[in-house]
Amino acid sequence: MVAIQASVLNYDDAIKKWLPAGGSKIQEMSKVQILHHVENNTFRVVGRKLQDHDVVINCAIIPGLKYNFTSDTFHQWRDHINQKLYGLNFLNLEDAVTFGTVMSRVLEVINSYRTQAQSNLNRPSMAYTEQGSVTVARQTVNGSTTSVVQDNMEMRMDNFDPRRPIQQENSVNNSAYCSMSGAGKTVSQGTLVSSPSKPTAPMPPSVPVSYTHLDVYKRQIM
Q: What is the mean pLDDT of residues 55-64?
A: 95
Which of the listed residues 69, 97, 122 is the one where a domain comes to its end?
122
CATH of the domain at 58: 2.30.29.30
pLDDT tens for 161-214 read 656 655 554 444 444 434 344 444 444 444 444 445 555 556 655 545 444 444
Contact 16, 24 (CB under 8 A): no
Does one domain contain both 18 and 105? Answer: yes
pLDDT at site 159? 57
Does one domain contain both 112 and 135? Answer: no
Q: Does residue 149 have a pLDDT over 50? A: yes
Contact 110, 63 (CB under 8 A): yes
Number of domains comprising the chain: 2
pLDDT tens for 128-140 read 555 555 555 566 6
Domain annotation covers residue 57? yes
pLDDT at site 177? 38
Strand partners, 2: 34
Domain containing 140: what range?
A: 126-194
